[in-house]
Copies of this chain bind each other. A is one copy, B any other.
Amino acid sequence: MAGSSFGNILRITTWGESHGTALGVVVDGCPAGLALEAEDIQAFLDRRKPGQTKISTPRKEADAVEILSGIFEGCTTGTPISMLVRNTSQHSADYSEIANCYRPGHADYTFDAKYGFRDYRGGGRSSGRETIGRVAAGAIASKLLRQFGIELTAYTKSIGPVSVDMSKFDRQAILTTPTCMPDTEASTRAETYLADCMRSYDSAGGVIECVIEGVPAGLGDPVFEKLDANLSKAVMSIGAVKAIEIGDGIEVAVRHGSENNDPFRIQNGHISKTTNHAGGILGGISDGASIILRAYVKPTPSIFSSQETVSRQGENINLSIKGRHDPIIVPRAVVVVESMAAVTIADALLMNASAKLDNLKKIYGR
């Protein structure tokens, strides 16, 4: 089954394995006329690059993007934008010993169960490097959305037990702290926590929040193409995400309706809500408030302490993973969550263009 595509009108197709020749994405359906250059993409890719700090893998990956099609004279042409990143820093030898065993928490066993065999080098297609294509696509979607005043901001909300204090929110810190936390104090504590994890050959999880501002009311479609349904699929399809919340999320289950409903009011001549428990989506359609979502990310499954598992041949064994692995996935996944959210919102923006006759009359002049 062709499972590597996402989106309806703006449709992305990613490809590539961790230790193959390259990884990439084809972005089809981007409207013509958007100014776009490699720097727009590279800025996003650089946010997920490893080897930058002591809490990420010491692998050095240039991850330089090459745009192969779809741009002419600095603008998108409406035709597919193909982008690739060469794999340059792969140490396949590191993985030879795991060719014949199933790492706990990884997709080794399930790929074998499905396909009969797998590209075991670095996780193959289930590697975190698969997200390179998503992020390259997200850069385009984000730039498209900015033309319409829509801005996305994703950041680390918590790492293990350390949560950011939102009253100290510092947007700049997202890009400058190694944790991608918008609170430098929390970030320092999180770094200490992660250093402890590494000393005990263990790993940690965390929470990523994404806020999308400037979304006009009316995006998303009823029933199955609800904006929250598509955001959930988009974010849950990122490896290691195990839960997704919209707005107040799990908290709503213990609320009363009188607490959870957001009152509408006329403010400055416009309809807006005085609270935003719903996270900007009602009935699957954006309501004009900021869209807010949170992704819960599991701890890196590759840990250096010894684990019980089985071999491909069906023997119980003990496994000690070697190689170079991040003790936490969260900071590098922040831009992935932002990218998937951007692709989803951009697709909804395009889909909404044909929602009513009035929109079409504006285009076709009747």
A191 is an interface residue with CB less than 8 A from chain B: no
Q: How far is the CA of A288 from the CA of B112 in the complex (A)?
A: 12
4 closest A-B pairs by beta carbon, nearest first, are A107-B283, A3-B221, A3-B225, A2-B11
Q: How far is the CA of A350 from the CA of B117 in the complex (A)?
A: 20
Known contacts A69-B15, A223-B125, A236-B228; A287/B110 CB under 8 A: yes
CB-defined contacts of A361 to chain B, threshold 8 Å: 147
Closest residue of chain B to A240, judged by CB? B252
CB-defined contacts of A199 to chain B, threshold 8 Å: none
Q: Contact size class for A?
A: 35 or more
**Is there an interface contact between B256 and A249, defined as CB atoms closer than 8 Å?**
no
> What is the distance, in angstroms, from A65's C-beta to the closest C-beta of chain B?
12
**Is there an interface contact between A283 and B113, defined as CB atoms closer than 8 Å?**
no
From B160, B252, B352, give the contact of A1 (CB < 8 A). Answer: B352
> What is the distance, in angstroms, from A200's C-beta to the closest C-beta of chain B?
8
Closest residue of chain B to A366, judged by CB? B148
Q: How far is the CA of A228 from the CA of B295 in the complex (A)?
A: 13
Known contacts A106-B283, A253-B205; A69/B23 CB under 8 A: yes
Known contacts A21-B66, A116-B33; A285/B355 CB under 8 A: no
Known contacts A125-B77, A222-B4; A110/B360 CB under 8 A: no
**Is there an interface contact between A298 and B226, defined as CB atoms closer than 8 Å?**
no
A58 is an interface residue with CB less than 8 A from chain B: no
From B34, B114, B298, give the contact of A252 (CB < 8 A). Answer: B298
**Is there an interface contact between A310 and B266, defined as CB atoms closer than 8 Å?**
yes
Known contacts A1-B8, A105-B278; A258/B303 CB under 8 A: yes
Q: How far is the CA of A265 from the CA of B318 in the complex (A)?
A: 10
Closest residue of chain B to A256, judged by CB? B202
A323 is an interface residue with CB less than 8 A from chain B: no
From B253, B264, B299, give the contact of A255 (CB < 8 A). Answer: B299
> What is the distance, in angstroms, from A68's C-beta to the closest C-beta of chain B?
5
Known contacts A9-B1, A360-B350; A299/B256 CB under 8 A: yes
**Is there an interface contact between A110 and B265, defined as CB atoms closer than 8 Å?**
no
Q: How far is the CA of A165 from the CA of B108 in the complex (A)?
A: 35
**Is there an interface contact between A229 and B233, defined as CB atoms closer than 8 Å?**
yes
From B29, B230, B243, give the contact of A250 (CB < 8 A). Answer: B243
**Is there an interface contact between A253 and B202, defined as CB atoms closer than 8 Å?**
no
Within 8 A of B (CB), among A11-53: 11, 13-17, 20-24, 26, 28-29, 31-34
Stretch at the interface among A78-86, A170-178, A182-190: A78-86
Known contacts A250-B296, A252-B205; A29/B9 CB under 8 A: no
Known contacts A17-B69, A205-B254; A301/B261 CB under 8 A: yes
A242 is an interface residue with CB less than 8 A from chain B: yes
**Is there an interface contact between B352 and A359, defined as CB atoms closer than 8 Å?**
no
> What is the distance, in angstroms, from A87's C-beta to the closest C-beta of chain B?
10
> What is the distance, in angstroms, from A77's C-beta to the closest C-beta of chain B?
5
**Is there an interface contact between B109 and A217, defined as CB atoms closer than 8 Å?**
yes
CB-defined contacts of A115 to chain B, threshold 8 Å: 32-33, 77-78, 355-356
Q: How far is the CA of A301 from the CA of B147 in the complex (A)?
A: 35
CB-defined contacts of A315 to chain B, threshold 8 Å: 266
CB-defined contacts of A226 to chain B, threshold 8 Å: 3, 236-237
> What is the distance, in angstroms, from A229's C-beta to the closest C-beta of chain B?
4
